[in-house]
Structure 1
Amino acid sequence: MSLIYSRIFDLSSGLVPESFEADICIVGSGTVGLFLAHLLNKRNANFLLLDAGPLKPVSTESIGYLPDFSSSVYSGATEGRYFGLGGSSSRWGGALIPHSSFDLREGDESESDTTNTWNFILNSIEENQQNVLSSFDFSYDPLFCLTSIPFTECSLHKALAGSGLSLWQSLILPFSQKNFIRFAEGNTTNSQSTLIYNASVSAWQFFPGDSAGLRISSVNAVSLNHKKVQVKAKRYIICSGAIESARILLEISAQSNGAYSAEDNEVGRYLSDHLSLPIARVDPIEVPRVVSLFSPTFQGSFLRNYRFLLKPESANLPRSFSHFVFRQKDESFYVAKQILASIQSRQLPSISAAQTAQSIFGLARLAGNKLINSRLHIPPNTPCDFCIDVEQEKSYTNAVTLTSKRDKFNRLVANINWGISLSDKSNINKLSSLYLDAWARSSTLPNLNTLPFPTNIAENSASYDAYHPTATTRMGNSKLSVVDLNLKVRKFENLWSSSTGVLPSPGTANPTFSVLCLTAKLANALCPE
């Protein structure tokens, strides 16, 4: 594998200089970190990239980053995180979905800062979406629903007429592009770029800034076998994901003698995710019609999927969206998925030659349907569920905090207190009724059979397996927000942070696309083109 960086070091090798200097130090080479490095590399910026993991991403447990849990285990902090070049993008679904005007909650004065923040996010999407999409070699199409422009395919609009549901589109990346390591692959073009891997940040040094804040003078990193390096930079950007970025900022506060206090900053607080549940099942006789109307379609190698948004009648209802899930059980689909996932993760597929041989005709059907009909092949007997994703209600006690324990790198271990509240369950019930009532108002939509509400969704890991953690390092104008609208960390003059944690809540979409747009805006500020 050829990488674009001019200097590449494995800290654990022991063959690394004691210190480095750079204009910009990026902590984390996952989804956001690699994308930011990609944009800075195009500008020939002088930057250094630090990552805790190896070149091929490994799990949270493998790297020794498992947190403690006060109550329910939050799987987004265990199964949903990977460290190394590409990070969690080596496993994610690849959905690029923008937030929209449906995320605004006008008229709620108690949430005025949140409304202002969402307005800023939407403007950032408008300004940067074309740049982000071009990074994936996707030609920008104004009819593609990345803003509030409605999709205009007649058959779909006729089916939804009178329902009160708004149809939106998603963009699913090809498996070959889902892993953001693609942004690091290629020939060296920037002589001022450095990558150091197997390097966990462990200690920060400070001095007084020009104003009331502090400046970071350097950061130390350590490998699992206790090799150390120091990086001195003019600016530092933490791109380590919602959980780890919050842990790092809390540790920075502890090492700087309490830059943050509970009274003036809420770093780590309001951890929130999407709760995803099937609320209805399509009548088996209606599945072919659902497939013909709403099954994913191809645009070249990209996949387009459909979602339904229902604007809440009250600002008190959380943001949400709904969609169909086709629960494919076909062996050939499983084999195809394993092969494509191996392309994404850069690993050999865990299937046998016999499985592949037995699935050859099914694989041919999948390929033929894509080639001829530009649709994902879904057998007519496939079980089909109508699902909703609802953001969790804002809760101060859902939080990332620090324990007094130390991990293998001598860093303070994070504690996560997270749970699904009675209010969350009530909101799911209310929104389920609203979506199903809206669906039933149309006389032309396929019939749905309502599913019983699960007795204990907290024990149902499928209820939150999307892993969209947000709000732990939330952005805003309020002094309690962790970063300002330019992603600059409060109380520090040369520190920024970008991850899904900066979003006020999960909202009506998967968070990645919006964060990539915010990161593109940050890259322009750090190093204008």
Structure 2
Amino acid sequence: MIIHFSDALTIPPHDFCIVGAGPAGIALALRLADRGHRVLLLESGGEKPEAFSGSLSGANLVDERVHAPMTIASCRALGGTSWWWGGRCVPFDPADFAERPHAPGTEWPIRYEEIERWHPEAATFFAVGGHSFEKEAGLPSLAGACCNTLERWSPQPNVGHLYKEDLQRDDRIMLILGATVTALQAEQGGRQIRALTLTDRTKKLDLPVKNCTLACGGLETTRLLLLAKQHCPWLFEPSAPSLGRFYMGHISGKIADIVFNAPESAEAFDFFLEKGAFARRRFTFDAATLRQRKLLNIAFWVDNPPFHDPAHRSSILSAVWLALATPFLGRRLLAEAVRLAHVGPPPFRVTQHIGNIVRSPFSLFVSLIQIVKDRFFAKPRKPGFLIKNAGGKYALHYHAEHIPSPSSRVTLSEETDPLGVPKLSVDLRFSDRDADSVVRAHELLDQFLRKSQLGYLEYRFPKDGRLSGVLSQACDGFHQIGTTRMSSSPDAGTVNSDCKVHGIDNLYILSSSVFPSSGQANPTFLVVALAHRLASHLASSVSSSKGI
């Protein structure tokens, strides 16, 4: 059942309350309902993004150069931030869960196998065509590195669209739209959340809860906990200093191009269709190599030259850039954050792009027909394209781990949102250590490529400028990792290995903010795997308490 908060005269009793109807919240709600439990799912936004609900996520960004605007870093609507998500699904690696003396502060209190067992459920939830993330490419062996690891792409990234009918049909789930949680309430000296304060522009009520899970994104979840700590300090362990700290994302960009000795080798790194969903190969390093070389985790993929730079002299890339630079059309082609990255910074050299188009009109026509077919008419829609060239030279995109630091943090500011709730002050920081690992990883990959005779790297920066080149591109804010980190004890984190807040009996956190490390993978797939794991734990806990 789906209703709006303004129309909710009464809210029936429920076993579990979940705050946030994004991928995590929807996955948890459906799984608990499948086990026969009554679930209340609260979403601050409506069926689609709206200006007012979006304004509630506003934050003060200490450095806007390194953090995406909150208008594209979060989304309040059915489906959550999957409205802006491209659909890339990548699991974390065993190396992320292993002991790594060279990466302090990245320790997980659970083993990789405890997450891996839920990969099939997460893969099914996103309909990515399988839960194996390796596929042989038939290329030369890169001892110590691998070119067979996969990213898989959801054919329908917007989980609100994907699961709206299921949520509407299931009488065990009540989804209330437009219900913004503005406070957690607890009895003085108590160890439980007794109620949530729900608010919109005209209405406010206190909703009693038995068991509550915050699944409203990394930053919003952290904001609610910081507010609770301010108003109900007895709920939190005095030795728990990590809440709001260790804010992470990923360090990402391009400092080199890859040149294949055999140009046809690039075909292995293009998107391919498998079991109804697209996938793509990436370069990664094995756990032993990361440990021996003291590298943070990193992945690379083969990409087109920067669309915004007309020096590529490609008619199709210039045509695509012009389309992406037109907001109405570009937003139909790509998620907004990806679109802006491809459009690049001003000044925009429109005349040179038009010159590229005029220079090769026939090539443009042929390529454009194929791209339009793949992006608008094919099902599933192809998530991207790789324009082949006879020289075998392509951009090499890296996506690397961000080391946790207590100085990278979020706090409550004195400024408030339209509902009177304090906004966050966000101070995301990258370090030379993050960038140094990226530079050394490129050097190592270049060695492996040359040794295997697969190819080599050509750098875009001189050797003494590569570190600054990495830092100049460092920007995130989408992945929102680490601010309610998982730990075995309250002095090292906010939640335990079951995602329960230390010291609070009935409050759980389900977002990327519980990750103690960021790895090389974007967090969405792991969050949904954790949702299935948490559903199993919650259902078992309720059964045990009832003596079943």
What TM-score range do you get, normalising by the shorter chain? 0.7 to 0.9
Deviations 1:14-72 (A, max 9, x none): x4327654221111112211222222233342111112222102479832321123345
- How far apart, CA to CA, are the structure 2 residues paired with 1:94 and 1:404? 36
1:39 aligns with 2:17: no
- Please tell me whether residue 307 in structure 1 is matched to residue 282 in structure 2: yes
1:100 matched to 2:107? The reply is no
Counterpart residue number, 1:3: none
CA–CA distance in structure 2, aligned partners of residues 344 and 38 of structure 1: 28
- Specify whether residues 21 and 287 from structure 1 end up closer, same or farther in structure 2 by C-alpha distance, changes over 3 A only: farther
What are the residue-to-residue correspondences of 1:204-353 with 2, within 5 Å? Answer: 204-207=184-187, 214-223=191-200, 225-257=201-233, 259-260=235-236, 263-283=239-259, 288-310=263-285, 311-314=289-292, 316-327=294-305, 329=317, 331=319, 342=332
Aligned with 1:485 (options 497, 504, 524)? 497
Cα distance in structure 2, aligned partners of 1:446 and 1:110: 30
TM-score (norm 2): 0.79
The question of whether the paired residues in 2 share the 8 Å contact of 1:49 and 1:194 is answered with yes
Report the count of equivalent residues: 490
Q: Secondary structure at the match of 1:216?
A: coil
Aligned to 1:89: 82
In 1, Cα distance between the equivalents of 2:447 and 2:53? 44
Query: Residues 58-207 of structure 1 correspond to what in structure 2 (within 5 A)?
Result: 58=50, 62-72=54-64, 74-76=66-68, 78=70, 79-106=72-99, 108=101, 111=104, 114-117=106-109, 119-120=110-111, 122-138=112-128, 140=130, 144-145=132-133, 151-153=135-137, 155-156=138-139, 158=140, 160-162=141-143, 164-165=145-146, 167-174=148-155, 176-186=156-166, 188-207=168-187
Name the aligned partner's letter for residue 173 of structure 1.
Answer: S
1:251 shift after superposition: 0.8
1:470 and 2:474 matched: no
Give the letter for the 1:469 counterpart: Q
Q: Does the 8 A contact of 2:188 with 2:232 survive in 1?
A: no
Query: In the alignment, is the contact (CA less than 8 A) between 1:28 and 1:238 conserved in 2?
Result: yes
Distance 2:262 2:199 in 1: 54
| DSSP 3-state at the match of 1:441 | helix
Contact 2:303 2:386 in 1 (8 A): no
Change in Cα spacing, 1:101 to 1:166, as seen in structure 2 (3 Å) is farther
Alignment partner of 1:401 out of 398, 411, 423: 411
What is the alpha-carbon distance in structure 2 between the residues aligned to residue 33 and residue 368 of structure 1?
A: 31
Is the aligned partner of 1:54 residue 2:49? no
Q: Could you list the runs of 5+ residues in structure 2 that have no partner in the other structure?
A: 308-316, 340-361, 544-548
Which of the residues 381, 395, 414 maps onto 1:385? 395
Offset from partner CA, 1:99-152 (integer Å, 9 cap, x none): 1223244363995x84443x53x22332211122223445546xx32xxxx533
The answer to whether the 8 Å contact 1:58/1:82 transfers is no
Residue segments in structure 1 that go unaligned for 5+ positions in a row: 1-5, 350-357
Distance of aligned partners of 1:386 and 1:398 in 2 relative to their CA distance in 1, 3 Å threshold:
same
In the other structure, the counterpart of 2:354 is: none
Q: Does 1:417 align with 2:422?
A: no
Distance in 1 (alpha carbons) for counterparts of 2:417 and 2:125: 37
Q: Is the 8 A contact 1:297 1:305 kept in 2?
A: yes
| Percent identity (aligned) | 21
Q: Which amino acid aligns with 1:292?
A: E
**3-state secondary structure, aligned to 1:488:** coil
- Deviation of 1:482 (Å): 0.7
- 2:277 and 2:456 map into 1 onto residues whose CA distance is 29
